[in-house]
């Protein structure tokens, strides 16, 4: 038999989904944008709406957007391929790298509201506190973070689309972001939140169906049959570094190394991604912490469940006639390109399942792409044009440059992804390596918002020293291990791990030492005085701007302090539970899962996946979504004083800023539960 794997779907299906769905979403978002302006006075010609959605997004939509941020194609494909390589411990480590970071970001989100309620981007905070040079430095770090993560996601998605349909990989690379660029161009960040919800709604339903389908398919049949098949496969091809060579153990060296690498890397991926900060700025005061915590905890299940089911099913089916590559095994290139999950779906569901996975990958890719486009365009418009080219830029001018940023991103990222693909760089290489570039800015960024003692010299010195040390350790370790510096050696586990850890931790002592050598203290009120909302016209005077101090009512101050305590609690809870007490503790137990323990493992992961489905799909509708959708569909205008679709549920006056007592009570009860 030929070694060529024939796609289960025709090329027309690929072009139909990538182009057709893209056009449909673009047209739909244009209509929604107009409807929102009519019903809720949501005008995306305003920078406050386009960039931060008027800071009134509710808990349900925030949680859904957070989950969507971790449904990127790299997570779905990468968790499956690494579970196939190293075992079921991988999914837990990947889930921990998502939940712990997002819950920590809830702390940053509420602290940003306490100290800079009118902020638009992370870089704006850096400029106000540390000046021009630091601002330019952070522009480089943040652009690299968004560009590399966007590119890695697009590499994996385009390879999967090609394997499912036979569509040309370059065509899929350029066409996947096309529709996204159109609806992001018209809808801005509000479009991102709405499409996040719609995409996540569809993705979660398909993922639940696919996971169940994998278990009940005739090629597997049951949880017990999957267990037996993996045990049999491990006797033939044991996993190096795993206890007894088994996939069914938490005692896996490679999973441990990847877990540490990925958890630390995701600190950089989240903290240095301006898109995550903008979602925090966009959330209502009463929604910032509950939304991020719910979304963070719920996001754990997707890489855990999908990785476990997809990776172990590939181990079980690879030597059977049902598998697309039979009678040969998958090549290293196929695995690294993320084709494990597509091949499994082809084996157990045929063309129907392949079509469902194609839609899932498209949705996951476009949802994350929209967030990255907004993040990159905001840097171009607000932090480059509005800061250094036209300091008196108005709404119209900033929106024009935001649109330019979206168009540029839609063209540059596919070109970069194509260059990587043609040069032999795949999704897995970027997944392992990106932390070396993004992590040096983590501690200086955290200190910029949480520690008034970090000085300007420390903020500038720490990330520069960190990136120099990280690159040196990364390349030096690659040469020490493999005798060469190449794509293969630099993308290996140990060089990436050592470089990533160096990049993360070296800036910490540097910042502390430089700051303490010549100590100074920053006054947080500077953020409130200098960061203003964007003027709608050149004729708008400064005195017409809202007084930031009037925003801090005693009730709001008390509420935000309470939410800060909750954010700290959930950050510590998820870090201890999802990182130390679960995978670390089980790593210490030298054991292979019994069939009963494996069955419980699978059942609990499915229950957790259903919980994520409820949080992402049902809760946003319960959280006022149904009423607001009905208002838009019927074309009615919202009640007086209700200026945002995620504003007050019980509006009694013209202010949409004060968190209503009823909503605050509901969110507190959610956290306490």
**For 342-362, what is the mean pLDDT?**
87
Give yes or no: residues 607 and 641 share one domain: no
For residues 460 and 134, give the distance between their C-alpha atoms in angstroms, rounded to a whole number: 6
For residues 384 and 408, give the distance between their C-alpha atoms in angstroms, rounded to a whole number: 14
User: Cα 312 to chain center, whole Å?
Assistant: 25
Give strand pairing partners of 242: 252
Give yes or no: residues 668 and 611 share one domain: no
Residue at 545 is within a domain: no
Give yes or no: residues 133 and 156 share one domain: yes
| CB 661, CB 556: distance < 8 Å | no
Residue at 497 is within a domain: yes
For residues 226 and 232, give the distance between their C-alpha atoms in angstroms, rounded to a whole number: 10
How many residues in total does the chain contain?
673
Per-residue confidence (pLDDT) for residue 513, from 0 to 100: 96
Give yes or no: residues 524 and 656 share one domain: no
Q: What is the pLDDT of residues 380-438, one digit of tens each?
A: 988 899 889 988 877 788 888 888 888 899 899 999 999 998 988 888 898 888 889 98
Residue at 630 is within a domain: no
Give yes or no: residues 577 and 657 share one domain: no
Helix ranges (DSSP H) in 439-492: 442-450, 456-482, 487-490
Residue at 357 is within a domain: yes
Q: In the numeric block, which tokens belong to residue 305?
A: 């469940």
Give yes or no: residues 456 and 500 share one domain: yes
Residue at 368 is within a domain: yes
For residues 428 and 75, give the distance between their C-alpha atoms in angstroms, rounded to a whole number: 11
pLDDT band at residue 363 using 50, 70 and 90 as cut-offs: confident
Number of domains in the chain: 2
Give yes or no: residues 615 and 647 share one domain: no
pLDDT above 70 (res 624): no
Give yes or no: residues 447 and 413 share one domain: yes
Closest alpha carbon to 439 in 504, 376, 391, 494: 504
Give yes or no: residues 316 and 455 share one domain: yes
User: Exposed/middle/buried for 15, CB within 10 Å: 0-12, 13-18, 19+?
Assistant: middle
Per-residue confidence (pLDDT) for residue 282, from 0 to 100: 79
Q: Is 252 helix (H, G, I), strand (E, B) or coil?
A: strand
Give yes or no: residues 248 and 379 share one domain: yes
Q: What is the pLDDT of residues 168-204, one digit of tens each?
A: 989 989 988 887 777 677 666 555 667 778 888 888 9
Q: Please identify, among 606, 625, 644, the residue that sits at the C-terminal boundary of a domain.
A: 625
Q: In the numeric block, which tokens belong to residue 6?
A: 């024939």
| CATH code assigned at 32 | 1.20.1730.10
Residue at 631 is within a domain: no
Helix ranges (DSSP H) in 575-622: 585-588, 595-613, 619-620
Give yes or no: residues 345 and 299 share one domain: yes
Tokens 């292979």 correspond to 592
Backbone phi, psi, residue 242, to 5°: -95, 150
Residue at 539 is within a domain: no
Q: What is the pLDDT of residues 534-543, one digit of tens each?
A: 555 444 444 4
- Quick one: CA dihedral 627, 628, 632, 636, positive or negative? positive
Give yes or no: residues 393 and 523 share one domain: yes
Closest alpha carbon to 278 in 134, 138, 125: 125
Residue at 346 is within a domain: yes
**For 608-636, what is the mean pLDDT?**
77
- The domain of 646 spans 636-673
**For 30-49, what is the mean pLDDT?**
62
């Amino acid at each position: 038999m030929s070694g060529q794997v024939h796609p289960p779907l025709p090329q027309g299906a690929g072009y139909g989904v990538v182009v057709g769905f893209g056009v449909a979403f673009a047209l739909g978002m244009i209509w929604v944008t107009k409807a929102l302006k009519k019903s809720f006075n949501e005008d995306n010609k305003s920078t406050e709406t386009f960039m931060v959605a008027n800071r009134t997004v509710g808990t349900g939509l925030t949680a859904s957007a957070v989950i969507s941020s971790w449904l990127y194609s790299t997570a779905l494909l990468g968790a499956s391929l690494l579970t196939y390589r190293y075992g079921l411990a991988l999914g837990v480590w990947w889930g921990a790298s998502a939940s712990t970071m997002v819950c920590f970001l809830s702390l940053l989100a509420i602290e940003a509201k306490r100290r800079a309620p009118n902020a638009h981007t992370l870089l704006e905070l850096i400029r106000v506190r540390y000046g021009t040079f630091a601002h330019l430095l952070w522009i480089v770090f943040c652009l690299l973070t968004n560009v590399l993560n966007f590119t890695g996601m697009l590499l994996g998605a385009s390879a999967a689309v090609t394997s499912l349909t036979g569509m040309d990989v370059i065509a899929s690379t350029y066409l996947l972001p096309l529709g996204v660029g159109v609806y992001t161009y018209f809808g801005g960040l509000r479009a991102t939140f709405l499409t996040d919800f719609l995409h996540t709604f569809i993705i979660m339903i398909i993922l639940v169906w696919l996971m169940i389908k994998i278990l009940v398919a005739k090629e597997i049949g049951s949880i017990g049959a999957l267990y037996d098949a993996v045990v049999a496969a491990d006797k033939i091809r044991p996993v190096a570094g795993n206890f007894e060579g088994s996939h069914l153990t938490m005692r896996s060296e490679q999973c441990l190394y990847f877990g540490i690498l990925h958890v630390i890397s995701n600190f950089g991926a989240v903290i240095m991604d301006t898109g995550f900060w903008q979602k925090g700025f966009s959330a209502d005061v009463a929604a910032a912490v509950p939304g991020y915590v719910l979304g963070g905890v719920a996001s754990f299940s997707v890489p855990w469940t999908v990785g476990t089911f997809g990776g172990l099913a590939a181990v079980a089916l690879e030597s059977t006639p049902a598998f697309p590559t039979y009678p040969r095994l998958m090549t290293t290139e196929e695995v690294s390109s993320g084709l494990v999950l597509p091949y499994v779906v082809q084996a157990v569901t045929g063309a129907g399942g392949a079509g469902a996975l194609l839609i899932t990958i498209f949705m996951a890719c476009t949802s994350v792409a929209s967030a990255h486009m907004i993040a990159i365009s905001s840097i171009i418009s607000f932090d480059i044009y509005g800061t250094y080219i036209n300091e008196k830029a108005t709404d119209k001018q900033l929106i024009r440059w935001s649109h330019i940023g979206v168009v540029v991103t839609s063209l540059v990222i596919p070109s970069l992804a194509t260059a990587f693909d043609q040069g032999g760089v795949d999704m897995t290489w970027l997944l392992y390596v990106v932390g070396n570039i993004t992590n040096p800015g983590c501690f200086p960024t955290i200190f910029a918002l949480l520690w008034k003692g970090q000085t300007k010299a420390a903020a500038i010195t720490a990330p520069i020293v960190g990136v120099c040390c990280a690159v040196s350790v990364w390349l030096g370790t690659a040469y020490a291990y493999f005798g060469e510096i190449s794509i293969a050696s630099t993308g290996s586990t140990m060089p990436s791990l050592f470089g990533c850890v160096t990049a993360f931790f070296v800036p910490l002592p540097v910042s502390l030492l430089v700051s303490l050598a010549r100590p100074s203290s920053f006054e947080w009120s500077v953020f409130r005085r200098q960061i203003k909302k964007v003027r709608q016209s050149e004729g708008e005077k400064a005195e017409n701007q809202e007084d930031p101090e009037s925003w801090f009512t005693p009730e709001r101050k008390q509420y935000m302090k309470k939410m800060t305590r909750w954010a700290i609690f959930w950050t510590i809870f998820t870090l201890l539970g999802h990182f130390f007490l679960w995978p670390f503790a089980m790593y210490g137990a030298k054991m292979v899962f019994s069939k009963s323990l494996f069955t419980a493992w699978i059942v609990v992961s499915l229950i957790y996946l259903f919980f994520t489905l409820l949080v992402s799909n049902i809760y946003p509708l319960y959280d006022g979504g149904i009423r607001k959708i009905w208002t838009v569909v019927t074309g009615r205008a919202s009640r007086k004083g209700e200026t945002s679709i995620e504003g007050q549920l019980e509006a009694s006056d013209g202010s949409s800023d004060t968190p209503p007592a009823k909503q605050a009570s509901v969110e507190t009860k959610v956290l306490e539960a």
